[in-house]
Structure 1
Amino acid sequence: MAGPVSGDTEAQYAGDPSSKPGGWITFPFMMATLLGMSITSFGWVLNLIVFLIEEFNIKSIAAAQISNIVNGCLSMLPLVAAILADSFFGNILVISASTFISLTGILLLTLVASLDFLKPTPCETGSNLCQSPSEFQLGILYTALVLVTIGAGGTRFTLASAGANQYDKPKDQGSFFNWYFLTLYAGAITGATAIVYTQDNASWKLGFGLCAAANFVSFVVFVCGKRLYKHEKPMGSPFKSLISVVVAATVKRKAAISSKEEDYHQGLAKTSPAMPSKSYGFLNRAALKTEDGGSVNNIWRVCSVQEVEDFKAILRLLPLWVAIIFVSTPMVMQTSLMVLQALVTDRALGPHFKVPAGSLQVIIMTSASTFIIINNWLVYPIYQKLTGKRLTPLQKVGIGQVLTILSMAVSAVVEAKRLKTVENGHPMSVLWLNTATSLTSLVIGVSFYLSTALISLLQRTTKWLPNDINKGRVDNVYWVLVVAGVLNFGYFLVCSWFYTYRNLQGDNEQHPKDVST
């Protein structure tokens, strides 16, 4: 939901009923804000590993772990921002505050890159003895990273929600989302190429300074358009209703479950089922209207049947989410290790151009977008025409898991070949890493933390991940991920076999073996 209307704006529209906020007049403000914030966030995060290694003398594996933690927060903070926007402040206020917080953080990061006393003395060429950053220097660095992470996480998807709220017609909302993702990827690619190249070949100060300039423009533009936006009052987060189901069912845990429709609270939803389903029957007590259960207006004592069924739908998805999290962990590990591999490869393309290590991650963005387009417009329609059936969402996820396993196998072979070139004294061309990353796609925030834990475990139990990966066996790490991926795929197949699809039109449950719809 969007934020509440400010007093002056509310009075303005109350005095002139024909004057309606929102609509396409807000489009340039939203897109300019999104473009600037995308350039900013991708501009600093994609090259973070290189920055930590080169400017803070942090060991390569430790830098990859820090990057994983930051990326994990970037992936999970939008959920926090959504709860704050829906329940308390509205999207407009959350976006305004987030862009300002991000601006503060990127300015601090620019200062860190500019002032020598805020970072350790650079390592001498050819020396293994490097000065470690002090606690003060790390404190300033981590403060900057926290601020820019909060700012990026608070705007990335709230901008999508706020922008869609400006339109009344679904067609206009669909057009907005098309432009939203196009602008998001345009900003991401700009950050991954132009900004990262500037950081590597000009200076970190200029690179972060350009990010700060883009962030500043985003903040100013968004605030300037504030009077034009459609402001909607916060309506509450859906997570509140999910929690209320657990609380209400627990409070009435001793109540007898009824088989009569009139004993259950229906709520206001016209399409709400009359009776709760039999699965997870202990949750049905949440919708029971008991004498000691409290008023139906007390959500912590009585929930609607629809709310109970929504919570059950979440529970049915949990096993599949676990499988997706575990399949995403290899992908995020591959993303981090790819940067470390790129740093020790020959990245020269011709005599005058050297590919920045951080820019290789743009391959993931472009390949993901390409595969989505090819699958939706070519592969899936051909499959449906040949078989007469549509692929279910779980079947599509399964295909993605197979591609991820193949990607890990390719990465293992590529790394083994790269190590042989190191022994021969001829570094492998960076173009070999394209092949290995073209099958990867989007990641899940939790996977970054699992990736960090797995890297730590491998460091403690094997010699495969030393700080100098030329002396390690990253290819063995990829083979471990291949085996883990195969086991996870088996688990995913079991979960998919028992999963019950829900017919949204008739709100009836579909047989788990029926995958024709």
Structure 2
Amino acid sequence: MLQQQHTSQPGTYGTCFLTTLIGAYMADSWWGNYSTVMRFFIIYLAGMTSLTLSASLSKLKHSPLFTYLGLYMISLGSGSIKPCLTAFGADQFDNTDTSAKASFFSWYFVSIKLGTFFVSTVIVWIQDNYGWTVGFGTPTMLAGIAFVSFMAGLGYYRYCKPSGSPFTRLCQVIVAATRKHYFNVLEENDSVLYQAKGKSEIVPGNEQLEHTPEFSFLDKAAIVTSSDFSNSGAVNPWRLCTMSQVEEFKSIIRMLPIWATFILSSMVPTLESSVFVEEAMVMDTHVGSLNIPPASLSSFNVIAIVMFAPIYDKIIVPIVCKFTTKEGGMSHFQRAGVGSLFFCSCSLISCNC
């Protein structure tokens, strides 16, 4: 079963991250972050229960359909929760409190790694000594406790209303710019571009963005014409977009090279757990009298991250702040660049070992 587990792991892992789009869309368009987390948490619990039953009931032990149903329900639930949970955590802070947000995300990441460490050590030990039923049943019970704990804070959280699908806003820019392809916009004259005037036209939590000269074709979506308004004076969003809305689209275009660059580096962690298990199965995992289970080998990666995160937050960041005079030491882009440099260097070293 261990062989089946780590061979199917990349598929479920990829599905988990693909379904983040579903959770993000539902949260932005309809339910909000809290409701989305709660609904997909129920799906996640159902998947965990399905796996537990497939390991405990004799009629289901040899049913791959029931097992894979549980795995992909877990992927759907976990993946859809990921973007909403981080966004919901950020909603608890003011937009100006950047240092508190940065600290929250650091410790949030640490807590995830601590959970991974717990699973790869304690849960693996339980599974080795008490079987798959208890091995699956224990995290299912803990997930249920987490669900109740999260729900208990219902009256204390800060909630943000759904602001509408960002995909719809992006499509509106493309459609409006295409309809006005015959217009010309002078870079030095952005006064003809439409900007939000009332609170009803501003997406909650978003700021008005300054005009930039790049990708000027998209600026045509913000050119005001008489056909952009209905008889009542309401704006047709598929014919006229705000300048900030256009700039949001431009920001996404600028991020595409960064996103594409990180695709390859993200493939390594995806295969990390399965490769570690395969290598550990042919290794002598005895350390003195201690025998480390193959599935626990990935815990060393978690230990390194958990140890380094507080050092980074409490020691490295204050030192860097003295040299850069920036809050947080470095920008998010600089952090990603430095992290990628270390990541690629370590990957090259491991390939030559």
Instruction: Name the TM tier (shorter chain).
Output: 0.7 to 0.9
Query: In the TM superposition, what is the alpha-carbon distance from 1:181 to its structure 2 partner?
Result: 4.5
Q: Does 1:404 align with 2:339?
A: no
Determine the C-alpha separation between the residues in 2 that align with 1:362 and 1:203: 20
CA contact (8 A) 2:113 2:305 kept: no
Distance 1:179 1:402, change over 3 A: closer
Counterpart mapping for 1:289-328 below 5 A: 289-294=224-229, 297-328=235-266
- Aligned partners of 1:159 and 1:290: how far apart in 2? 41
What pairs up with 1:392-431 in 2 under 5 angstroms? 393-414=332-353
Q: Which segment is superposed worse, 303-312 or 225-234?
A: 225-234
Cross-structure match for 1:95: 37
Deviates more, 1:68-77 or 1:311-320: 68-77
Structure 2 unaligned blocks of 5 or more: none
Q: How far apart in 2 are the matches of 1:95 and 1:207?
A: 25
User: 1:82: Cα distance to partner?
Assistant: 2.4
CA contact (8 A) 1:106 1:144 kept: yes
How far did residue 109 of structure 1 move?
0.2
Q: 1:301 offset after TM fit, Å?
A: 1.4
2:67 counterpart letter in structure 1: L
What residue number does 2:112 align with?
A: 184
Displacement after TM superposition at 1:355 (Å): 1.6
Map 1:325-364 onto structure 2 (within 5 A): 325-351=263-289, 353-364=290-301
Equivalent residue, structure 2, for 1:255 = 183
* Secondary structure at 1:302 match in 2: coil
Measure how far apart 1:236 and its partner are. Answer: 1.7
Amino acid at match of 2:163: M
Mapped to 2, the partners of 1:100 and 1:388 lie a distance apart of 45
Could you say which residue in structure 2 is the equivalent of 1:107? 49
Aligned to 1:16: none
Is the contact between residue 99 and residue 218 of structure 1 (CA under 8 Å) also seen in structure 2? no
Deviation for aligned residue 1:152: 1.7
Which amino acid is the alignment partner of residue 301 of structure 2? I
CA change 1:309–1:228 in 2 (3 A) is closer
Give the drift of 1:110: 0.7
Could you give the per-residue CA deviations for residues 342-388 of structure 1, whole angstroms, max 9, x where no partner exists? 1111122333x322222222222332344444455555665676799
Q: Distance in 1 between matches of 2:300 and 2:322?
A: 31
C-alpha spacing 1:319/1:65, structure 2 compared with 1 (3 Å): farther
1:173-252 pair list within 5 angstroms: 174=101, 180-226=108-154, 229-252=157-180
**Letter of the aligned partner of 2:260 in structure 1?**
V
Of 14, 17, 23, the residue aligned with 1:81 is 23
AA matched with 1:323:
T
Deviation string, structure 1 residues 187-246 (Cα, Å, up to 9, x no partner): 332222211221223211101010111122233344455455555432223333222212
CA contact (8 A) 2:43 2:76 kept: yes
Which amino acid is 2:239 matched to? R
Aligned-residue offset at 1:264: 1.1
Write the deviation string for residues 160-203 of structure 1: whole angstroms up to 9, x where unpaired.
Answer: 43345456696696476566445434333222221122122321
CA root-mean-square deviation: 3.4
Give the superposition deviation at 1:147: 1.1
What is the rounded CA distance, in whole Å, between the counterparts of 1:236 and 1:157 in structure 2? 16
> Alignment partner of 1:263: what SS?
coil
Distance 2:151 2:325 in 1: 51
Shift of the 247–358 alpha-carbon distance from structure 1 to 2, 3 Å rule, reads: farther
Q: Cα distance, 1:153 vs. partner?
A: 2.2
State which drifts further: 194-203 or 249-258: 249-258
Percent identity (aligned): 31
Larger Rg, first or second structure (1 or 2)? 1
Establish whether residue 264 from structure 1 lines up as the match of residue 163 from structure 2. Answer: no
AA of the residue aligned to 1:407: C
Q: Which amino acid aligns with 1:71?
A: Y
Give the residue type in structure 1 aligned to 2:74. Answer: V
Distance 2:244 2:319 in 1: 37
2:13–2:270 contact (8 Å) kept in structure 1: no
Q: Secondary structure at the match of 1:90?
A: helix
Q: 2:285 & 2:131 partners in 1: Cα distance?
A: 18
Q: How many Å separate the matches in 1 of 2:24 and 2:280?
A: 36
Conservation of the 8 A alpha-carbon contact between 1:192 and 1:362: yes
Is residue 12–residue 75 contact of structure 2 (8 Å, CA) maintained in 1?
A: yes
Partner SS for 1:333: helix
Seen in structure 2, the aligned counterparts of structure 1 residues 281 and 169 have a Cα distance that, compared at 3 Å, is: closer
Over 3 Å counting, the alpha-carbon distance change for 1:177 and 1:411 in structure 2 is closer
Q: Are 1:159 and 2:85 matched, yes or no?
A: yes
SS in 1 for 2:227: coil
Residues 228, 236 of structure 2: 8 Å contact kept: no
The answer on whether the counterparts of 1:287 and 1:303 sit within 8 Å (CA) in structure 2 is yes
Deviation at 1:265, TM superposition (A): 0.4
